[in-house]
Structure 1
Amino acid sequence: MSAQSPSSVAGSERTVPEGTTGTDRFGDDKKVVAMRVDGVLQDLFREIPEGSEVEAVTVDSEDGLNILRHSAAHVLAQAVQQVNPDAKLGIGPPVKDGFYYDFDVDQPFHPDDLKALEKAMQKIVNEGQTFARRVVTDDDARAELAGEPYKIELIGLKSAAADAVSSVEGATSEVGGGELTIYDNVRRDGSRAWGDLCRGPHVPTTKVLGNAFKLLRSGGAYWRGSEKNPQLQRIYGTAWPTKDELKAYTDRLAEAEKRDHRKLGAELDLYSFPDELGSGLPVFHPKGGIIKRVMEDYARQRHIEEGFEYVGTPHISKEHLFHTSGHLPYYEDTMFPAMELEGTRYFLKAMNCPMHNLIFSSRGRSYRELPLRLFEFGSVYRYEKSGVVHGLTRVRGLEMDDSHSYVTAEQAPDEIKHLLKFVLSLLKDFGLDDFYLELSTRDEDGDKKDKFIGSDEQWAIATSILEQAATETGLELVPDPGGAAFYGPKISVQAKDAIGRTWQMSTIQYDFNQPERFGLEFQAADGTRQQPVMIHSAKFGSVERFLGVLVEHYAGAFPPWLSPVQVLGVPVAEDFADYLQDVLNQLKRKGIRVEIDHSDDRFPKKIRNASKSKVPFVLIAGEEDRAAGAVSFRYRDGSQKNGVPVADAIAEIVEAVESRKQV
């Protein structure tokens, strides 16, 4: 939700009496926590210049929530330094659904510490301290914060260059913008309780936080995101306008914890992350391998149906290839270090596109071959920082369903529409059907444009084509300025899972850079040599990440066609095992994945185990079933259907699998 428009808020007139503050204008509305004056967010206590356009920023708007959470981060830092005066302050920005603050402390925080800090925060909140802004010079700030080495470093970054600040996560909330400011927390008697280097704005008083905040967890985080720097202790928290919203959020967290794909992967014996291999390098067990294979087989067949040709490329290449593509200057930090072989440097590939370009250029191409669509499940390796590696959703070794369409400039709009239709239908096949689209463009800031290759005209054309194709889907389109790849803009599909979380899934990228760098050409109808447009697309993104998302989306209870075991046989007693095995063998001949429980456990225990395994169909056979040539069904929801003729049971299971029902 955005801030209210000027026309919807009393007091948004352009003429105001001299000395009028935001508090004077909006103070009676308890939901208003800040204001936007001529497009700039400001604290309520600041004066409104005459002739300004003024908007109220409410606590339940996107900006208002960020201000609320940033203020909560300050209260946390104040509480930490009350409890531990030797703690040194790092950075404390708002983030999606919450906030964090980094501290340099002698000992890591313990869960009991977080409970004590919450109590200290509540006391600060109840005191109703106000946030007071002071403009300071760099020298004054250094003198005042002489005991805070990380704050001193941030001041130095601000003095050096704006890019230096923006390169540090969360730093713009501290020293972004023009003036350098410190915010003091002031008690009701006017005394200063605490202060922090900060850009602001903040809520008028700590009372706004009420009791709708919570500290969630703590962990290590390297200063400025570099392993070369000290490791600080990061405390994560959340804050909401009301207690009910806080409870709803913590309930969602609890449900997400139950669905954690790392936990379910171990419980269901799908995959693991051996320390012996290294961080971010998962292995798939037989059951996880089945899911992975079914996903790949289906995606491969869909690609073929959509006109793609399957190719294969190696895991390693000479360094020069990635210079030609333009990747190395931009992505070398996220690639595994080069290895020296026979006097030549080689890299593990972090992307497949340069090798697909070599396939295109291996012989002459005609316009009659276009669109030429190449596809592979390519293994790539990316040196993700250890702090961001997370189960299957952020790995260092991954398999991408990577495809590249080579088209004429005239074919590009239709190819992007074709890819979008393909992408959305494939995601729906896997049970994800709640989407919006994100359009990532280059950063138009003059100082940052040089991070993107290509002319203004090329970017304008590519962006327009993507935007038009995305708009025609009828889905919501959200801008993402600055999020493009260095070689061109992209569309990404943002899909919501069963509990409402959004995941970036498929991407489609327009590339006018690599065809030129590789000298790719085709012979046009008039005999001239022309350069193709290259369109990258990944439907899963990576197989590993997509599988991790599916595990959490389904809470491990996959639809029958994806389940590693589709039918589990549970005989009432061992006397009926042979009969039930014969039924399972008939299913197996139909391509159904089956198992039978031959354990020594008693029948009730076998049923409980079957429920925990999340198998979609459990077939039970006892004396009555055998005598009638039937079986009994037990479904995942606990319901049961008895005395089903074997032929009918087989037909029901086969139909559910082949139709890809979400049961």
Structure 2
Amino acid sequence: MTELLKISLPDGSVREMEPGSTPADVAAAIGPGLAKAAIAARVDGELRDINRPFESDSELALVTARDEDDALELARHDFAHVLAEAVQALWPGTQITFGPSTDDGFYYDVKAPADRDPFSMDDLPAIEEKMREIIKADKPLRREVWSRQQLIDKWEAEGEAFKAEWARELPENEELTVYWSGEDWLDMCRGPHLASTGKLDPQAFKLMRVAGAYWRGDQKNAQLTRIYGTGWLNKKQLNAHLTRLEEAAKRDHRKLGREMDLFHLQEEAHGSVFWHPNGYRIWRQLEAYMRRKMDKAGYREIKTPQVMDARQWEQSGHWGKYRENMFVIPDEVPNTEEDGPVISGEADWMALKPMNCPAHVLVFKQGITSYRDLPIRLGEMGCCHRNEPHGALHGIMRVRQFTQDDGHIFCTEDQVVREVRAFCRLVDEVYSDFGFSYQIKLALRPENRFGSEEMWDQAEQELRQAVIDAGLATDEYGWEELPGEGAFYAPKLEWHLTDAIGRTWQVGTIQSDRVLPERLDASYIGEDGEKHRPVMLHRAIFGTYERFIGVLIEHFAGRLPVWLAPTQAVVATIVSDADDYAKEAVGKLEAAGIRVDSDLRNEKINYKVREHSLAKVPHLLVVGKREAEEGTVAVRTLGEKDQRVMSLEDAIDMLRTEATPPDLR
């Protein structure tokens, strides 16, 4: 008699099933509603096809569309396969490579046939139509196990050079799988997939753009075309996503930066920002705000060199772990011979600092430090340089030269949790002042790291305990631990801000580091009269000024709070008879500390209103002959339809209140 399989369900019940049964059979046995809703399964925790047979007794959790993370991953993976199938159906001879899911969709890298140009945006409508045709055909997606040689033979016979190359590198002893779409198209893939193409909503995807890509990401290899799409579970989700994209485009900090005359970027300093007067006004307000916060929290501000000897970076570990991201220069100008410059050796090299921490250790090491002096909190508005890849640069969000609101706390082992907890409170104050909600993540030890396991255990637990003590390790704050995402010298807490349209931005961090004090020989004299290593806490709240300003611009759609706005008010005249009164009003506003301009041009007032609205000036104070006679102003506030008439004195009081930074109110 054949022994039945025991399938354990999340509610604690156990179903006995015949050998060869699948999760779909279990769903059908439970009821027709679940049989229709189930799209995949977690078998012993592994996400699998709904029709893949059980191999043994198993724990089963059926996946439905309500399990949105799993459902979206499956749908996007399937959309990618349907995309590849559609392209090959339309243009036989197209070679396919790989097509993963992404955070909001999918892509597939393909190489066009030799008899046509690379794919372009003009091809997307036809591809979309073919994809819908494949989806509506409801083609079964069927898994098979193949040998490595079978894969190689198939791809070589069909002229799939890229797939054949990859298949030749697959291990012989690994289970290699392919998925059929119907009976006439397949791709090699680990899976899992939905049961058929018809499980996808044909109205829930859109192809977005094409871009160049290189086979295996190497510029020396063949150039491919990457076709990007966004994919969702239904049309409602797709429309919501497209609306978010449209709103994000309106908020793009690069676009608003031009309109508000804040900054510009150009090739002569690629990856660095040219700040205009308006943009630097925002910077200065943020810098003054952060200085007040750091002063109040007991930080002592320092300034350290931009360039340090390579031997210092070698000792800290950055030369070995981070050198490809550093700008390095010879210590002396080399002699030039016919075959080019002569550079002596690495010992004579210098580097622009990619981070401030080694320099802060050198400041800490000056003189003898007692345990009574700890904690020592050092802060620096530190300018750093990192040689980011050209393709990774993005406006002012990711640049090569940046300034951090950096700080390092040197403390005893017993002080770590208390200092981290205090930092959590400080971060909460700052982000609340800007109206941000946030989530907290703990990034744990990476594979490539310095330090002992015991050291990492202790550092991770300290950060974890501080967040627990602060009451932040909860679902409300999105608490999550991220294996492998810490720095090479320390785990870190990360603060992820949520902006006005629901996007998240990783900004603030604190790291508990024992590696750098050891490598750079930092010490203090303990109560026992002996030398001890301090713990070094690396922390930042804005992260970098460049990125934080970019986030603020997009969060507020350029309509910055009055205290941050470059120009807080403009006094605009309707007629030239009011020019003298406008100048008088500007003088009084300036005396009250308001950043104000005048607009006395011989232009219609509606033109002036439109221009200053585009520049996102919070308040326009309109004055004409009547206002000049009565000592009033007509206040037009950005984003409001109606204007308010008030006395100049009341307008000054209103602006003075709004222009006061939140920490000074």
TM-score, normalised to structure 1's length?
Answer: 0.90
Residue 124 of structure 1 deviates from its aligned partner by 0.8
Deviations 1:528-587 (A, max 9, x none): 110000010111111111111111000001000110110011111121122112111111
- Describe how 1:476-515 pairs up with structure 2 within 5 A: 476-515=478-517
Kindly tell me the number of residue pairs found equivalent between the two proteins.
627
- Contact 1:215–1:235 (CA under 8 A) maintained in structure 2: yes
2:352 counterpart residue number: 348
2:552 counterpart residue number: 550
2:163 counterpart residue number: 151
Q: Which of residues 446, 450, 473 in structure 1 aligns to 2:471?
A: 473
Tell whether 2:414 aligns with 1:404: no
Residues in 2 aligned to 1:97 and 1:504: alpha-carbon distance in whole angstroms? 18
Letter in 1 for 2:49: D
Residue 338 of structure 1 deviates from its aligned partner by 4.8
Tell whether 2:449 aligns with 1:452: yes
1:575 counterpart residue number: 577
Residues 97 and 346 of structure 1: CA distance in aligned 2, closer, same or farther (over 3 Å): same
SS at match of 2:267: coil
SS at match of 1:304: helix
Residues in 2 aligned to 1:539 and 1:222: alpha-carbon distance in whole angstroms? 37
1:329 counterpart residue number: 320
In structure 2, the gaps of 5 or more residues are 1-6, 334-343
Deviations 1:441-466 (A, max 9, x none): 125xxxx4xx1222222111111111
Residues 152 and 364 of structure 1: CA distance in aligned 2, closer, same or farther (over 3 Å): farther
Letter in 2 for 1:46: R
Residue 600 of structure 1 deviates from its aligned partner by 3.1
- Describe how 1:422-461 pairs up with structure 2 within 5 A: 422-432=426-436, 434-443=437-446, 448=447, 451-461=448-458
In structure 1, the gaps of 5 or more residues are 161-176
Moved more, 54-63 or 298-307: 54-63
- Contact 2:289–2:661 (CA under 8 A) maintained in structure 1: no
1:540 counterpart residue number: 542
2:187 counterpart residue number: 196
Residues in 1 aligned to 2:610 and 2:163: alpha-carbon distance in whole angstroms? 56
Residues 158 and 422 of structure 1: CA distance in aligned 2, closer, same or farther (over 3 Å): farther
Letter in 1 for 2:237: E
Residues in 2 aligned to 1:314 and 1:158: alpha-carbon distance in whole angstroms? 49
1:33 counterpart residue number: 39
SS at match of 1:495: strand
- Contact 2:490–2:512 (CA under 8 A) maintained in structure 1: yes
Tell whether 2:417 aligns with 1:413: yes
1:168 counterpart residue number: none
- Describe how 1:258-407 pairs up with structure 2 within 5 A: 258-278=250-270, 280-339=271-330, 341=332, 343=344, 344-407=348-411
Residues in 1 aligned to 2:253 and 2:368: alpha-carbon distance in whole angstroms? 47
Deviations 1:39-67 (A, max 9, x none): 11211111123421111122342122111
Moved more, 335-344 or 289-298: 335-344
Deviations 1:322-380 (A, max 9, x none): 11111222222222355463641122221111111111112221112211111112121
Residues 494 and 131 of structure 1: CA distance in aligned 2, closer, same or farther (over 3 Å): same
TM-score, normalised to structure 2's length?
Answer: 0.90
- Contact 2:71–2:233 (CA under 8 A) maintained in structure 1: no
SS at match of 2:99: coil
Residues in 2 aligned to 1:554 and 1:373: alpha-carbon distance in whole angstroms? 32
- Contact 1:269–1:287 (CA under 8 A) maintained in structure 2: yes
SS at match of 2:557: coil
- Contact 1:13–1:54 (CA under 8 A) maintained in structure 2: no
SS at match of 2:485: coil
Residues in 2 aligned to 1:376 and 1:659: alpha-carbon distance in whole angstroms? 21
SS at match of 1:591: coil
Residues in 1 aligned to 2:324 and 2:118: alpha-carbon distance in whole angstroms? 29
Residue 470 of structure 1 deviates from its aligned partner by 1.7
Tell whether 2:106 aligns with 1:99: yes
Residues in 2 aligned to 1:377 and 1:31: alpha-carbon distance in whole angstroms? 55
Residues 282 and 153 of structure 1: CA distance in aligned 2, closer, same or farther (over 3 Å): farther
Residue 259 of structure 1 deviates from its aligned partner by 0.6
SS at match of 1:539: strand
2:340 counterpart residue number: none
Residues in 1 aligned to 2:378 and 2:605: alpha-carbon distance in whole angstroms? 52
Q: Which of residues 621, 629, 632 in structure 1 aligns to 2:631?
A: 629
Residue 495 of structure 1 deviates from its aligned partner by 1.0
Deviations 1:415-438 (A, max 9, x none): 101111112211222232x11101
Residues in 2 aligned to 1:478 and 1:558: alpha-carbon distance in whole angstroms? 31
Residue 311 of structure 1 deviates from its aligned partner by 1.1
SS at match of 1:281: coil
2:150 counterpart residue number: 140
- Contact 2:9–2:59 (CA under 8 A) maintained in structure 1: no
Residues in 2 aligned to 1:397 and 1:226: alpha-carbon distance in whole angstroms? 26
1:167 counterpart residue number: none
Residue 8 of structure 1 deviates from its aligned partner by 5.4
SS at match of 1:403: strand
Residue 489 of structure 1 deviates from its aligned partner by 0.9
Q: Which of residues 55, 59, 63 in structure 2 aligns to 1:57?
A: 63
- Describe how 1:596-635 pairs up with structure 2 within 5 A: 596-635=598-637
Letter in 2 for 1:387: G
Residues in 2 aligned to 1:339 and 1:156: alpha-carbon distance in whole angstroms? 44
Residues 157 and 370 of structure 1: CA distance in aligned 2, closer, same or farther (over 3 Å): farther
Residues in 2 aligned to 1:108 and 1:295: alpha-carbon distance in whole angstroms? 47
Residues in 2 aligned to 1:249 and 1:231: alpha-carbon distance in whole angstroms? 30
1:655 counterpart residue number: 657
Q: Which of residues 177, 201, 210 in structure 2 aligns to 1:181?
A: 177
SS at match of 2:382: strand
Residue 226 of structure 1 deviates from its aligned partner by 4.0
- Contact 1:632–1:640 (CA under 8 A) maintained in structure 2: no
Moved more, 545-554 or 340-349: 340-349
Letter in 2 for 1:33: I
Residue 158 of structure 1 deviates from its aligned partner by 4.5
Residue 128 of structure 1 deviates from its aligned partner by 0.7
Residues in 2 aligned to 1:600 and 1:528: alpha-carbon distance in whole angstroms? 77
Residues in 1 aligned to 2:328 and 2:14: alpha-carbon distance in whole angstroms? 59
